Every structure is written in structure tokens, then in C-alpha cells.
Structure 1
Amino acid sequence: MNAPLPPPTRAEQQALSAPFLIEDEELVRAIARLADERGTPMHEIVALAIADYAHRHSLASPAPEWLRRFWNEHPMPLPSGLKADKRFYDSLNDEE
């Protein structure tokens, strides 16, 4: 019997609201080269890389339960994509 999927996380909701786009040309070329060498579609190369990363990450010691609870209760904001203005922040501290 298939269990229902858990509700999507904030990051998943944001990712699902727009198509996934890799803007790093060098990374896209690396994926394409590997796909050509292996005769595998590019999306499968990405899926295999994610599965491998998740597997290696699962081998690391997990965070303590109290810390996982804290992260769930106080999630970090999603990246805005905006660049920080170093001159502005330096001016707050009277730096040049």
C-alpha cells in the first residue's frame, strides 16, 4: 500500500512553483559531458548525483534530536537572491 507523501517543505514549495534552472554554464557543461560519456539523460545524471549525495550525507552522524526540533521550529529564511551591499554595511561601522 502506498503511504501518502508528507507535505512539501518551504524550499520544496518554492522549487515546485517554478522550473528548476541551473544558471552555472560550467556546471551544465559538466553534466552534459558526463551524460554523453555514459549515454544517460542529463536529468538522470542529476538524480543520481542527488541520490549519491543524500546517501553520503546519511552516513554522517545525525544532529541531536533537540537540535533537529529547533531547526524545524525556527527554519532559516530562504535565500532572497539579493547581493549584500558591502559598502553600506561598512558605512554602518564607520569603515571605508
Structure 2
Amino acid sequence: MASLFIKDTGTAALATEIAEQLGTTKTEAVRRGLQCLAHHKATEQAAPTGSTVDWLRDYRARHPLPDREALKLGKAFFDSLSDEEDDLGPWLR
């Protein structure tokens, strides 16, 4: 059987306080706290290190912009947004 002896009286008192608030044992309070901390560390994203410029360069390398040639937006594209044909309407014929 494994055991954990908390030698620090402040920590033991905190465990007792939290256990009373949760309506559980000190062992369960400590277990929940450690599980919460383990989950937090596992899902924590690493904070960016270095300068902001380095972070932006790294971000841009991982998320490149689309090719400018693929984004050629001409009259046909804008006409399609308003469902207009290439004609100028009956009033300008």
C-alpha cells in the first residue's frame, strides 16, 4: 500500500480545508488536485520564446497565405456576388 505523508503543516491544513469544502477525504482532495494539475500541464501550450518577430515568422511558415495568382478576382467574380450578368441592364442598351 502506497502512502503519502505531507510534512508541511500549511499544506496539510490546505488539504483538510479543501477536503471539507468538497465533502470528501484529504486523499481524494489531493488526488483531484494532482489530476487537475496533470491535465493542465498536458494540455498547456508552450509559451512563445524569443521575439515577437521570430514568433510571427514561425507562425507564417506554419500558416502560409494562399497563392496570389489563385486569388484573381475580376469583374466576373464581383458580378457573381450580385447575380448580375455581363450585360449593362436594359436602361444602358
Settle same-fold status: TM greater than 0.5.
no
Shorter-chain TM-score tier = 0.3 to 0.5
User: Taking CA–CA contacts closer than 8 Å with sequence separation of 6 or more, which of the two structures ends up with the larger relative contact order?
Assistant: 1
TM-score (norm 2): 0.43
